[in-house]
Each structure stands twice: as C-alpha cells, then as structure tokens.
Amino acid sequence: MEMDTETLLALVASSLPAGVSAGEAELLDALIEANGDAPPSPTKSLPRLPVLTLTTPAMVAQHTPTTLHTSILPAELACQLYYTMLEEAKTWSRNKWYLADRLVESPHTSGFYARDAKSVDSKGMLEAAQYWYNGNRQKPPRVFPDVMEEALHFVEKVVQEEMKKRKRYPLEWGGEPSSWCANVAASNCYRGCKEGVGAHSDMLTYLGPYPTIASISLGTTRNFRLREVIPVTEVDQRQAQTFDIPLPHNSLLIMHPPTQEKFKHSIPTMKSIDTFRPAFGRGSGNEVDQHNERINITFRFFRPDFQPESIPRCKCTHGETPAVLRSNMKKKGGNEASHFWMCNGGAQNEGKSCHFFKNLDVVGEGRGPCVNVKRGIQNN
C-alpha cells in the first residue's frame, strides 16, 4: 500500500474504535467521513462554537464557499418539478453500505439521472450510477424528465455567472465545455422531519477535484448544515464553525470549491417541520395538497477526464471495483487540498477492504486539461 506517514496520520486523526489496525483505520476513517456516522472528536480545551444560522444570501456568501439564490425557477415550473419528482421518488431506493462490519441504511431515498439519453445505457454511465453512492447496486440511470431539463437551463445560467465572480482552483476542469453544465443529477427525498443525512463530503470519483455542485430544494423547508474541517495544525488554535442554512422551496444552493475539500455537509433531523402547500396544484383538477416531503436535486458535472474507464481499480472483487477519489481534509498547512484514490470495496464487500491507496497524479494519469495543471501538481 502506497502511503506516507503524514497522510496516514491525517486520515486517522479522528476517534476510532480500539483495536483497529493502521490499514483498517485508513479505510474506516474515510468511510465514516463519507457516510456521516463519525464518532465525536476528543474533548478539547477550546469551547465549542454555537451553530450560526445564515438567513440571507449575503450572510451565506460571507461565511461559506456557497451561494444561495431564492425563487430560482418560475413559480409554476417549480411546482411542476416538485410534483414530477415526488412521483419519481416512489421508485427510488434507500442506499445500503457496510460501516465497521455493520450493514447500515440511509434514512432517505435517492435516485440517479443522466442528461443525455444516448449515455444512459452506456457501460460507463451504468457504472457511474452504481458507484456514485458507495457502490450500492442501483437501477440504471434515467434520462432527465422534460421538466428537469427545463429547470436546468435556469440553473446553468446562474451557476455560470457565479463562477465568473470567484477564484478558480488549479485542478478545476479547464477544457471543453468551457462553462459549467450538468450532465447528471443525484436526487434525494426526505419525508417528514425524521429523515436526514449525516455529515459527509461528496465523493469526487467522477466529479474530479474542486467541483461545483448546484442543488435545488423543493417542498418543505429544511436546514442545510455546513461544518468546516480544521487542519491538524490548527486544532489547538480554533474550533470548527457550524453553519445552518434554511433552504425553502424553489431555492438554489451552489456549492463552490472548496466546499467538498474543506467542509462536511448534512441535513439534520428536526423535531417538527411546517407542511408545504404548493402555489399551484397538479392535474386537471388543480388540486393543492399539503406535503411534508423535501425534494433535493443536485446537478453535477461528471468530468470527461474522470470517466469510469479511467478510474483506478483496487484488488477487491478481482479488480472489478473502482477506487474512490477523496480529499485529505485534515492536511497540514497549505491552502490547497491533496487528493487520493483509495479502496471503497469495504462499503459493499461485507466490510472487507484491500486497503488500496494512491495519491492523485493528474499528469501521470493523463487527466485534464485543468485550470492550472502545473500549479496543481505542485500542490498535490
């Protein structure tokens, strides 16, 4: 296993069960981070900071690497999209994976969609659909419904304008298409106040480093929670800040870089929620019902240089299981994150892992073009 001491120490910095070997610790820590069941950090002398609620787009932009946009779609289109995805959600599934030799299940349901009808049945997209969420075998991806495609046109314009305003990171995509456009969408349904998702960062396997993800919220309002990850060199100097961003119906949250590299996000459960009454009814009768579901559509750009056939294979299942790309969020010093490939076979292989590990090398692996490859290599 190719692993330097600094990387290993950073990976196992969080609390882990006693008796875990170094190789098991490396895998378990990454899986815990990915799935939001991390144990509490050891008690530190610094006081824990209270959760800061960000109630306006200006506050969101000031404190986090995200931007919030309200009323992103025409009101009637937002309702049509909500109704369409509620119907779609009836066939979505709860993802399952192994965590510390225990089979766990997500409390919410998810579905995966591809924008291009020609790619839906391709071998590459079938693999991407299977492995976008911890390798859980899922149904083949579906093509975007017409109303989702219509909504995406509004989303893309906003994302492209926001990207012009911010710093670009060296390992971001720098080729064609030159402007952000989504080619897949991962959708989630949270029913009631007790369905949520734990703290995690999104796997970067097909997104590549420093992705931009655009997330539409439809239905009842839920809090989106962001918690920064403190580098190991700063844990004795400051505490992590946690932010809650209420996401109402028809809002768009854009997760700019380095959200996935520097923060974990979650949808916490709540004691109660307000029911949602759409402004427009569905069907010819124009019925308007009350709902307690939140639909979340995360539009993503799967990069051409991180296509499924280019992903390294670990030794699990005779080399059929692709590795996952992750970021070392606790790296010592420096402004840029480091990225690495690691085995994720244990998520579905009854908790067993081959402990494959390899640092990302965009030039050696023939990836790009990136915004600034030379600088990116120096920082990775």
Cα–Cα distance, 179 to 320 (Å, whole number) = 33
Q: Give the pLDDT of residue 21.
A: 35
Residues (pLDDT < 50) of the chain are: 1-44, 374-380
Cα–Cα distance, 47 to 29 (Å, whole number) = 25
Q: Give the pLDDT of residue 283.
A: 67
Cα–Cα distance, 98 to 346 (Å, whole number) = 7
Q: What is the pLDDT of residues 357-366, one digit of tens each?
A: 999 999 999 9
Best CA proximity match to 170, nearest among 342, 359, 337, 366 = 337
Cα–Cα distance, 59 to 245 (Å, whole number) = 9
Q: 208 with 359: CB under 8 angstroms?
A: no
Q: Give the pLDDT of residue 316.
A: 80
- C-alpha count within 13 angstroms, C-beta hemisphere, residue 104: 20
Q: Give the pLDDT of residue 221.
A: 97
Q: Give the pLDDT of residue 137.
A: 65
Domains of the chain: 5-306 (2.60.120.590)
Residue 190 belongs to what H/E stretch?
A: strand 184-191
Which two three-digit tokens encode residue 370? 């990136």
